């Protein structure tokens, strides 16, 4: 992988990384915030050994003071010393604080540190050592009187205002760093295990087919954005597909255009409907055939309450095509719905009657767009692709498995059908804010109650 590939993975998985950072930081903060506050304070003492005067005695006294400071640091942490300091400070009950003693071995300074959940208690106990430590040392050494050494306070312990632990903010920052590491690692692991297409570039490279367009994710009640939201990013994406289709092959490649997918739920009907609208808006006469006789969706997309014969009636009952076609009131678009469900759709779609129907519609319209079932579950799409002048495969990013898409493309290539390219669907994980643009600028169109094209049955074929 090149650097740009790593950056692409991080951009695709940014939400996972963000969740890991926020989650780890939040957990660290909560766990830290629930811990008992501990306050720490210190008192600094100086040990002085007795001296009889003279330079030698002064040096000896200083060395003895340094030695005793180190010894007193060890005594300070013993239970008798802590108990004596607690009693001197007036704390006879409750828990025992944590006490530490230190001396650097060079100077006669002794530092006593005390940590406790009560900051006042910690300061009182630390300051009490100046009064009690020498007596405790004498008692532990078995001496009946003190050695003549003294302890003087240099820096008295103050009452701490802030706890030394826990520190929720610091722990949250450390948790965020840990979350960043875990998030990036999880992003690359998930990328390696993800068998779907997340990027149009990967789709193009894997299939060796041109990506005709990248369609943002659908919004509720916006099945035909080319009509209801013509200035939105999604409507513009469908117009991009239309333009690329017009230059994807020779002019005759659009005469019979099959739009299909590898598996259900990839948005092929939405692509077929909106591309048909975009083609009709470009001044071409278009007929959209719902050849999915198993799960028809074109009629509902256009808000057509169809009760006529449809494609099934034309193929099974010999109904004249002009009695089954519905004209859209705006543009040069006609619809041939699926009609009733039948038991043998593959046989009818592959029959000579279907071939004659396509020839007849091709003579009456500039472009015939055919919405077919998915390639892998049934053979309907392959049967129709044989008679197509161009085939477009729709892929839903983040959903379509690579292996299934490859199998679908391989099946189409075995039939030597003209594959014009692929459409990457569902590229945006959230709503399209541009949908409000057209409304603000006063765009109006003739719609039904559902906000879609209104249609009427045709008594003749459109020429």
Domains by residue range for the chain, with CATH: 3-35+166-192 (no CATH), 39-155 (3.30.70.1130), 197-457 (3.40.50.300)
- Given a contact cutoff of 8 angstroms between Cβ atoms, the answer to whether 108 and 71 are in contact is no
Higher-confidence residue of 189 and 114: namely 114
144 pLDDT higher than 60: no
Listed ranges 139-153, 314-328, 382-396; the one with the highest mean pLDDT: 382-396
Q: What is the pLDDT of residue 436?
A: 40
User: Which DSSP state fits 433?
Assistant: G
pLDDT for residue 198 is more than 90: no
Secondary structure in 3-state letters for the chain = CCHHHHHHHHHHCHHHHHHHHHHHHHHHHHHHHCCCCEEEEEEEEEEECCCCCCHHHHHHHHHHHHHHHHHHHHHCCCHHHHHHHHHHHCCCCCCCCEEEEECCCCCCEEEEEEEECCHHHHHHHHHHHHHHHHHHHHHHHCCCCCCCCEEEEEECCCCCCCCCECCHHHHHHHHHHHHHHHHHHHHHHHHHHCCECCCHHHHHHHHCCCEEEEECCCCCCCCCHHHHCCCCHHHHHHHHHHHHHHCCCCHHHHCEEEEEECCCCCCHHHHHHHHHHHHHHCCCCEEEEECCCCCCCHHHHCCCCCCCCHHHHHHHHCCCHHHHCEEECCCCEEEECCCCCCCCHHHHHCCHHHHHHHHHHHHHCCEEEEECCCCCCCCHHHHHHCCCCEEEEEEECCCCEHHHHHHHHHHHHHCCCCEEEEEEECCCCCCCHHHHHHHHCCCCCCCCCCCCCCEEECCCCCC
Rounded mean pLDDT, 171-200: 88
Residues whose CB falls within 8 Å of the CB of residue 63, separated by 6 or more in sequence, listed in order: none
Q: What is the pLDDT of residue 434?
A: 40
- For residue 435, pLDDT over 50 is answered with no
Q: Is the peptide bond before 166 cis (omega within 30 degrees of 0)?
A: yes
Q: Which of the two residues, 141 and 355, has the higher pLDDT score?
A: 355
**Which tokens is 160 given?**
């701490």
Residues in Cβ contact with 343 at an 8 Å cutoff, skipping those fewer than 6 apart: none
Please give the pLDDT value at position 145.
53
What pLDDT is attached to residue 349? 92
Q: Which of 40-44, 258-262, 325-329, 394-398 has the least mean pLDDT?
A: 325-329
> Is 441 a residue whose pLDDT tops 50?
no
Whether the predicted pLDDT of 432 surpasses 90:
no
User: Mean of the per-residue pLDDT values for the chain?
Assistant: 85
Instruction: Give the model's pLDDT for residue 456.
Output: 54
pLDDT higher than 70, residue 143? no
Helices 200-207 and 402-414: angle between axes, nearest 10 degrees: 40
Check residues 361 and 309 and name the one with the higher pLDDT.
361
Interstrand relation of 390-396 and 286-290 (parallel, antiparallel or unpaired): unpaired
Tens-digit pLDDT profile for residues 284-330: 999 999 999 999 999 988 888 766 788 999 998 888 988 899 988 65
pLDDT at 428: 53
In contact, 16 and 149? CB cutoff 8 Å: no
Among 53-67, 264-278, 339-353, 440-454, the minimum mean pLDDT is found in: 440-454
Task: Kindly tell me if the per-residue pLDDT of 13 is higher than 50.
Answer: yes
Distance CA 20, CA 186 (A): 9
Indicate whether this model's pTM tops 0.75. no
- pLDDT for the residue 54: 44
As a whole number of Å, the CA-based R_g of the chain is 41
Residue 1 confidence class, pLDDT cut points 50, 70, 90: low
Confidence of residue 458 (pLDDT cuts 50, 70, 90): low
Higher-pLDDT residue of 455 and 413 is 413
pLDDT in tens, 107-130: 999 999 999 999 999 999 999 999
62 phi/psi in degrees, rounded to 5:
-65, -45
Amino acid 221: pLDDT: 65
Q: Sorting pLDDT into bands at 50, 70 and 90, what band is 147?
A: low
With 90 as the cut, is the pLDDT of residue 459 above it? no
Q: What is the pLDDT of residue 218?
A: 67
Return the percentage of the chain with pLDDT > 70, whole number.
87
Q: What is the pLDDT of residue 193?
A: 75
Predicted confidence (pLDDT) at residue 77 exceeds the cutoff of 90 = yes
Residue 255 makes CB contacts below 8 A (sequence gap 6+) with 362, 367, 368, 389, 390
Q: Mean pLDDT over residues 33-46, rounded?
A: 93
pLDDT tens-digit series, residues 392-431: 999 998 888 889 999 999 999 999 989 999 999 887 544 4
Please tell me the predicted confidence (pLDDT) of residue 462.
40
The whole-number pLDDT of residue 52 equals 56
Residues 306 and 326 sit within 8 Å (Cβ to Cβ):
yes
Average the pLDDT over each of 70-84, 181-195, 310-324, 432-446 and give the range with the smallest value: 432-446
Q: Which pLDDT does position 319 carry in this prediction?
A: 87
Regarding predicted confidence, which is higher, 244 or 427? 244
């Amino acid at each position: 992988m090149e650097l740009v590939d790593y950056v692409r993975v991080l951009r695709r998985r940014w939400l996972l990384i963000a969740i890991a950072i926020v989650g780890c930081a939040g957990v660290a903060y909560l766990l830290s915030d629930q811990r008992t506050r501990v306050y720490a304070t210190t008192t600094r003492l100086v040990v002085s050994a007795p001296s009889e005067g003279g330079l030698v005695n002064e040096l000896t006294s200083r060395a003895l003071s340094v030695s005793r400071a180190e010894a007193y640091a060890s005594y300070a942490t013993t239970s008798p010393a802590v108990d004596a300091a607690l009693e001197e400070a007036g704390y006879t009950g409750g828990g025992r604080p944590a006490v530490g003693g230190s001396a650097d071995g060079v100077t006669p300074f002794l530092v006593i540190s005390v940590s406790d959940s009560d900051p006042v208690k910690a300061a009182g106990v630390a300051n009490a050592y100046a009064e009690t430590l020498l007596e405790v040392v004498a008692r532990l050494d078995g001496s009946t009187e003190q050695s003549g050494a003294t302890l003087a306070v240099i820096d008295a312990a103050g009452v701490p205002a802030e706890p030394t632990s826990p520190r929720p903010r610091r722990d949250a920052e450390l948790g965020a760093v840990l979350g960043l590491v875990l998030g990036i690692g999880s992003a690359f692991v998930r990328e390696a295990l993800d068998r779907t297409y997340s990027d149009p570039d990967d789709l193009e490279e894997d299939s060796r087919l041109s990506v005709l367009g990248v369609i943002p994710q659908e919004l509720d009640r916006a099945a035909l954005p080319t009509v209801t939201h013509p200035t939105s990013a999604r409507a513009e994406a469908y117009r991009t597909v239309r333009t690329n289709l017009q230059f994807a092959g020779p002019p005759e490649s659009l005469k019979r255009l099959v739009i299909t997918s590898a598996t259900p739920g990839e948005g092929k009907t939405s692509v077929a409907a909106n591309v048909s609208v975009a083609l009709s808006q470009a001044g071409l006469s278009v007929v959209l055939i719902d050849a999915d006789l198993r799960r028809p969706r074109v009629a509902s997309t256009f808000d057509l309450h169809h009760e006529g014969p449809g494609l099934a009636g034309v193929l099974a009952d010999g109904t004249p095509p002009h009695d089954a076609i519905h004209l859209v009131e705006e543009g040069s678009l006609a619809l041939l719905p699926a009609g009733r469900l039948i038991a043998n759709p593959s046989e009818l779609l592959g029959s000579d009657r279907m071939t004659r129907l396509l020839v007849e519609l091709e003579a009456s319209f500039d472009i015939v767009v055919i919405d077919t079932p998915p390639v892998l579950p049934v053979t309907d799409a392959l049967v129709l692709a044989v008679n197509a002048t161009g085939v477009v495969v729709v892929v839903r990013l983040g959903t379509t498995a690579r292996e299934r898409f490859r199998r679908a493309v391989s099946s189409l290539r075995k039939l030597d059908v003209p594959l014009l390219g692929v459409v990457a669907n569902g590229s945006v994980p959230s709503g399209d804010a541009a949908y409000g643009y057209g409304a603000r600028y006063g765009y109006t169109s003739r719609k039904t109650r559902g906000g879609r094209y209104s249609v009427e049955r045709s008594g003749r074929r459109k020429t």
